[in-house]
């Protein structure tokens, strides 16, 4: 099973990205998102954001012990929304 993460850079950093989950914003180190070449981060470097598919276990680790910081997500985000995820097969 996999889930989608919508990552964007944390302003002023070169090694941290953030994503939203259940009304909170999680900040993690980029190295903790990368897994053995299985993720293509080209869009992150070119556009500043990317959608990655991660395993449920990896997702649980990112919102748990690997989370650098966690904050409440404002009701209105200043970043452009990501396109809707395609339905899981």
Q: What are the structural domain ranges in the chain?
A: 2-72
Each residue of 36-64: pLDDT tens digit?
Answer: 555 577 888 888 898 888 888 888 888 88
Question: What's the rounded mean pLDDT across residues 63-73?
Answer: 81
Contact present, 39 and 33 (Cβ < 8 Å)? yes
What is the chain's mean pLDDT, rounded?
Answer: 79
Q: What percent of the chain has pLDDT over 70?
A: 74
Provide φ and ψ at 60, rounded to 5°.
-60, -40
Pairing state between β 16-21 and 49-55: unpaired
Contact present, 24 and 73 (Cβ < 8 Å)? yes
């Amino acid at each position: 099973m996999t889930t989608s993460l919508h990552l964007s850079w944390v302003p002023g950093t070169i090694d941290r990205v953030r994503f939203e989950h259940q009304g909170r914003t999680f900040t993690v180190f980029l190295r903790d998102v990368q897994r053995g070449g299985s993720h293509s981060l080209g869009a992150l470097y070119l556009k500043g954001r990317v959608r990655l598919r991660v395993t449920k276990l990896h997702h649980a680790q990112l919102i748990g012990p690997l989370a650098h910081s966690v904050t409440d997500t404002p009701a209105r985000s200043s970043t452009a929304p990501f396109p809707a995820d395609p339905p899981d097969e």
